[in-house]
Structure 1
Amino acid sequence: MVLKVFFPTCCSSAESGLLVGRWIPEQNSAVVLAVVHFPFVPGQVKQYLAEVQRATGVEISVLGSWTNSKAAKEEKGLERFLEDLGTIFSHDPWIQLGKEQGSKFWSCSATRRHPSGDERDEIILVYYDQRKAMLSRLHPPCAPEAGEAAAAPDRKAENASKLATMFATVSQSQLLFAKDRYDEGPVKLTHWQSEGVEASIIVELVKQASGPACVLLTFLLSLVSRVCLSRALTFWPLSFVWSKLSTCQQLKHRLQHLQVVSSTRKAPDQAQLMRKANIFVSLLLDMTLGILLMSWLYQKNRIGHLANALIPMADLVAEQLQDLLQWLMGVPAGLKMNRALDQVLGRFFLYHIHLWISYIHLMSPFIEMILWYVGLSACLGLTVALSILSDIIALLTFHIYCFYVYGARLYCMKIYGLASLWRLFRGKKWNVLRQRVDSCSYDLDQLFIGTLLFTILLFLLPTTALYYLVFTLLRLLVVIVQGLLHLLVDLVNSLPFYSVLLRLCRPYRLASGVKFRVLEQEAGKPLRLLMQINPLSYGSVVQTYRLPTYSCYPKDSWGSLCKKLFVGELIYPWKHKGEKQD
Structure 2
Amino acid sequence: MVLKIFFPICCSAAESGLLVGRWIPEQNSAVILAVIHFPFIPGQVKQYLSEMQHATQVKLSVLGSWTKTKQAKEESLDRFLEDLGTIFSHDPWIQLSKEKGSKFWSCSASWKDSNGNEEDENILVYYDQRKVMLSQLHPQDPVVSSDQKTVEASKLVAVFDTVAKSKLLFMKDRYDEGPVKLTHWQSEGVEASIIVELLKQASVPACMLITFLLSLVCGVCKSRVLTFWPLSFIWSKLSTCEQLGHRLQHLQIISSKRKAPNQTQLMRKANMFLSLLIDMTLGILLMSWLYQKNRIGHLANALVPMADHVAQQLQDLLQWLMGVPAGLKMNRALDQVLGRFFLYHIHLWISYIHLMSPFIEMILWHVGLSACLGLTVALSIVSDIIALMTFHIYCFYVYGARLYCLKIYGLSSLWRLFRGKKWNVLRQRVDSCSYDLDQLFIGTLLFTILLFLLPTTALYYLVFTLLRLLVVIVQGLIHLLVDLINSLPFYSVILRLCRSYRLASGVKFRVLEQEAGKPLRLLMQINPLTYGRVVQLYKLPTYSCYPKDSWGSLCKKLLVGELIYPWKHKGEKQD
Aligned equivalents of 1:218, 1:194: Cα separation in 2: 40
The answer for the alignment partner of 1:113 in structure 2 is 112
Q: 1:65–1:96: 8 Å Cα contact kept in structure 2?
A: yes
Aligned equivalents of 1:466, 1:580: Cα separation in 2: 33
Q: Once the two structures are aligned, what percentage of the paired residues are identical?
A: 85
Cα deviation for residue 572 of structure 1 reads 1.9
**TM-score (normalizing by structure 2):** 0.98
Aligned equivalents of 1:209, 1:518: Cα separation in 2: 48
The answer for the alignment partner of 2:52 in structure 1 is 52
The answer for the alignment partner of 1:91 in structure 2 is 90
Counterpart of 1:175 (choices 168, 172, 178) is: 168
Q: Report the secondary structure of 1:377's partner residue.
A: helix
Cα deviation for residue 574 of structure 1 reads 4.9
After superposition, the C-alpha distances for 1:490-523 in whole angstroms (9 at most, x for unaligned) are: 0000111111111111111111111111112222
Is the deviation greater in 486-495 or in 73-82? 73-82
The answer for the alignment partner of 1:560 in structure 2 is 553
The answer for the alignment partner of 2:275 in structure 1 is 282
Is the deviation greater in 92-101 or in 466-475? 92-101
The answer for the alignment partner of 2:528 in structure 1 is 535
When residues 553 and 80 of structure 1 are mapped into structure 2, their CA distance, relative to the original with a 3 A threshold, is closer
- After TM superposition, list the pairs within 5 Å mapping 1:396-545 onto structure 2: 396-545=389-538
The answer for the alignment partner of 2:194 in structure 1 is 201
When residues 77 and 293 of structure 1 are mapped into structure 2, their CA distance, relative to the original with a 3 A threshold, is same
Confirm or deny that 1:122 pairs with 2:115.
Answer: no
The answer for the alignment partner of 2:102 in structure 1 is 103
**TM-score (normalizing by structure 1):** 0.97
The answer for the alignment partner of 1:215 in structure 2 is 208
After superposition, the C-alpha distances for 1:369-395 in whole angstroms (9 at most, x for unaligned) are: 110111100000000000000000000
The answer for the alignment partner of 1:238 in structure 2 is 231
The answer for the alignment partner of 2:5 in structure 1 is 5
Confirm or deny that 1:394 pairs with 2:387.
Answer: yes
Cα deviation for residue 328 of structure 1 reads 0.5
Q: Report the secondary structure of 2:467's partner residue.
A: helix
Report the residue type matching 1:197 in the other structure: V
Report the residue type matching 2:184 in the other structure: H
Cα deviation for residue 49 of structure 1 reads 0.9
Q: 2:280–2:372: 8 Å Cα contact kept in structure 1?
A: yes
Cα deviation for residue 118 of structure 1 reads 5.7
Cα deviation for residue 256 of structure 1 reads 0.6
Aligned equivalents of 1:521, 1:390: Cα separation in 2: 65
Confirm or deny that 1:25 pairs with 2:12.
Answer: no
Q: 1:244–1:574: 8 Å Cα contact kept in structure 2?
A: no
When residues 144 and 244 of structure 1 are mapped into structure 2, their CA distance, relative to the original with a 3 A threshold, is closer
Counterpart of 1:371 (choices 364, 370, 389) is: 364
Aligned equivalents of 2:318, 2:4: Cα separation in 1: 82
User: Any runs of at least 4 consecutive aligned residues in structure 1 with deviations exceeding 6 A, and if so which?
Assistant: none
Counterpart of 2:257 (choices 257, 264, 267) is: 264
Report the residue type matching 1:444 in the other structure: L
Counterpart of 2:564 (choices 571, 577, 580) is: 571
The answer for the alignment partner of 1:148 in structure 2 is none
Cα deviation for residue 101 of structure 1 reads 3.2
Aligned equivalents of 1:361, 1:86: Cα separation in 2: 94
Aligned equivalents of 2:37, 2:269: Cα separation in 1: 40
Aligned equivalents of 2:461, 2:176: Cα separation in 1: 81
Q: 2:548–2:566: 8 Å Cα contact kept in structure 1?
A: no
Cα deviation for residue 442 of structure 1 reads 0.5
Q: 1:554–1:577: 8 Å Cα contact kept in structure 2?
A: no
Cα deviation for residue 127 of structure 1 reads 0.5
Q: Give the gaps of 5 or more residues in structure 2.
A: none
Paired residues, what number? 575
The answer for the alignment partner of 1:61 in structure 2 is 61
Report the residue type matching 2:42 in the other structure: P
Q: 2:549–2:566: 8 Å Cα contact kept in structure 1?
A: no
Is the deviation greater in 159-168 or in 572-581? 572-581
After superposition, the C-alpha distances for 1:73-113 in whole angstroms (9 at most, x for unaligned) are: 57561111111111111111010000123321111100111
Q: 1:136–1:509: 8 Å Cα contact kept in structure 2?
A: yes
Aligned equivalents of 1:102, 1:220: Cα separation in 2: 69
When residues 155 and 550 of structure 1 are mapped into structure 2, their CA distance, relative to the original with a 3 A threshold, is same
Aligned equivalents of 2:268, 2:242: Cα separation in 1: 21
Cα deviation for residue 140 of structure 1 reads 1.2
Is the deviation greater in 572-581 or in 35-44? 572-581
After superposition, the C-alpha distances for 1:247-296 in whole angstroms (9 at most, x for unaligned) are: 00000111111111111111111111111111111111101100110010
The answer for the alignment partner of 1:158 in structure 2 is 151
- After TM superposition, list the pairs within 5 Å mapping 1:72-91 onto structure 2: 75=74, 77-91=76-90
Aligned equivalents of 2:316, 2:452: Cα separation in 1: 25
Q: 2:290–2:296: 8 Å Cα contact kept in structure 1?
A: yes
The answer for the alignment partner of 1:149 in structure 2 is none
Q: 1:554–1:576: 8 Å Cα contact kept in structure 2?
A: no
Aligned equivalents of 1:202, 1:553: Cα separation in 2: 42
Q: 2:548–2:568: 8 Å Cα contact kept in structure 1?
A: no
Aligned equivalents of 1:74, 1:180: Cα separation in 2: 28
- After TM superposition, list the pairs within 5 Å mapping 1:203-352 onto structure 2: 203-352=196-345
After superposition, the C-alpha distances for 1:160-187 in whole angstroms (9 at most, x for unaligned) are: 1000000000000000011111112111
Aligned equivalents of 2:398, 2:510: Cα separation in 1: 67
Is the deviation greater in 476-485 or in 72-81? 72-81
Cα deviation for residue 114 of structure 1 reads 2.0
Q: Give the gaps of 5 or more residues in structure 1.
A: 146-151
Report the residue type matching 1:83 in the other structure: E
Aligned equivalents of 1:551, 1:33: Cα separation in 2: 46
Is the deviation greater in 218-227 or in 57-66? 218-227
Aligned equivalents of 1:551, 1:65: Cα separation in 2: 59
Q: Report the secondary structure of 1:442's partner residue.
A: coil
Report the residue type matching 1:130 in the other structure: Q
